[in-house]
Every structure is written in structure tokens, then in C-alpha cells.
Amino acid sequence: MLIDALASVGVKVDTAHVQTHFLGRSWAKVAAEIRHSHGYLPGTDFEEKYRTDLLARFEQELTTTAGIKPLLSRLATLSCVATSSSPKRALRSLDLTGLSKFFEARVFTASEVERGKPAPDLFLHAARRMNTDPALCLVIEDSLPGIEAANQAGMQVLRFTGGSHLSGMSDDALTLGGKVRCFDKWEHFFEMVPHANRQPDERMGT
């Protein structure tokens, strides 16, 4: 959607550029990057149209990645959402996909902190709101800014690579040269974090 919106105003970017420069960042950081790299600053009208069109597309096409609902229903630990998305986009996304019930009010956005990812502010804010020591937190991320933010916050991190927006990236790029553990299917999560499973699978011997 963003690639198409930018093309309509003469700014040409591809999927690889979006993966590297936009994924996981707040809109303010995305807009600043577009201005820096392409000499175009998306104004309020552009942002509002893009957000409106995106939410309209969500209404028709947004779905969950396979396996996330069964995983959340078996999760033994407290969980929350900490996202660079706007509050409206985050809440509507959870509603449309039927995930709201798993998080309820435990949804935190970059609008609540001074600095978005890759700064650690959002994750530290989420930990405080959850009354949890950052050192005991596990972050599931897909973006480079999110991974950096988790590291700066002193949290453990795994990278979920099963989203279509990461397609085409090499294993070396996804693992950051072997620096981060990755998984591409939610069914593999409990294999990596078995203590988080409140309904052990006897077939796995756990």
C-alpha cells in the first residue's frame, strides 16, 4: 500500500527498500526517511489518505498468520503488543483478526513514548505497564528496528520471519549473520520456548 501511495506522488521505492528503511518504524521516522532519501516530505493529506486506504484494505483482506491463535490460547506467560503502528491501526487490526481477546488493554504504541523503535523506550514502557523486569521479557519481532530496540532494552528477542513482507530475504539477512534466532511458523515457537506452553503436547514429549 505504501509503495503504491508513494508512486502516486512520483516517489519510487521497492519492497527491499521498504524492508530495510520502513518496516517497524513509526510514521514520523518513515516520513523523515522518505524526505531524506527522495526529497519528498509526505504531508498530513498524504498520511491521512494512506492511513484511510490502508484501513479500508484491512477491512477486506487482513488475516492472521497461520497458527497464531492456537499459540496465544496455549500461552502460559503474560503477553502484550508493543507496536510502532498508530493506536487506531493497532486496535482495528486486532479486532479484524479476532486477536483482541488475547491482549485486551495490553496494547502499547509508539505514540505513548518520546522515541520509537529502534530506541528501547516502547519496550521499556510496556515492561513497566506490565510490572515486569525487562530482563525477564521475550520480544517477538519481525523488523530490524524492533530487534535493536529489544537488545537496547536488555530483553531477549526472537525474530518471526513468516510474514509475507519478509519474503525474498536471505537467511543471512534474516538472522543478521547468525546474531538472532528466527522461526517462520508459530508451531515452532513452543519448540524454542517450551516453558511458555501451558498445554504441553504429549507427542513432543514435553
Do 144 and 116 share a structural domain?
A: yes
pLDDT of residue 151: 97
Whether 201 maps to a domain, the answer reads no
Do 143 and 121 share a structural domain?
A: yes
pLDDT of residue 68: 96
Buried-exposed string 52-64: b where 16+ CB fall within 10 A, e elsewhere: eebbeebeeeeee
Q: Within 13 Å and on the Cβ side, how many CA atoms surround 38?
A: 18
Do 78 and 36 share a structural domain?
A: no
Whether 23 maps to a domain, the answer reads yes
- Cell of residue 73, nine digits: 490460547
Whether 77 maps to a domain, the answer reads yes
Instruction: Please report, for the domain that includes residue 9, its CATH number.
Output: 1.10.150.240
Could you tell me the pLDDT band of residue 17, with boundaries at 50, 70 and 90?
Answer: confident
- Helix, strand or coil, per DSSP, at residue 84: coil
Which residue among 61, 88, 111 closes a domain?
A: 61
pLDDT of residue 200: 60
**24 or 6, which is more confident?**
6
Per-residue pLDDT at 204 exceeds 60: no
141 in the Ramachandran plot: left (φ > 0), alpha (ψ -120 to 50) or beta?
beta
Do 182 and 148 share a structural domain?
A: yes
Average the pLDDT over 18-47 and give the result: 88
Could you tell me the pLDDT band of residue 19, with boundaries at 50, 70 and 90?
Answer: confident
Do 140 and 47 share a structural domain?
A: no
**165 or 35, which is more confident?**
35
Whether 50 maps to a domain, the answer reads yes
Provide the residue range defining the domain that includes 51: 2-61
Average the pLDDT over 73-101 and give the result: 95
Could you tell me the pLDDT band of residue 76, with boundaries at 50, 70 and 90?
Answer: very high
Whether 206 maps to a domain, the answer reads no
Give percent of the chain above pLDDT 90. 77
Which of the residue ranges 14-18, 126-130, 147-151 would you say has the lowest mean pLDDT? 14-18
Whether 113 maps to a domain, the answer reads yes
pLDDT of residue 203: 43
Per-residue pLDDT at 187 exceeds 70: yes
Whether 43 maps to a domain, the answer reads yes
pLDDT of residue 16: 84
Average pLDDT across the chain, whole number? 92
Whether 161 maps to a domain, the answer reads yes
Instruction: Please report, for the domain that includes residue 88, its CATH number.
Output: 3.40.50.1000
pLDDT of residue 205: 40
pLDDT of residue 201: 55
Which residue among 61, 90, 110 closes a domain?
A: 61
pLDDT of residue 199: 73
**110 or 202, which is more confident?**
110
Q: Which residues contact 44 (CB under 8 A, 6 or more apart)?
A: none
pLDDT of residue 27: 86
Do 106 and 149 share a structural domain?
A: yes
User: How many folded domains does the chain comprise?
Assistant: 2
pLDDT of residue 166: 85
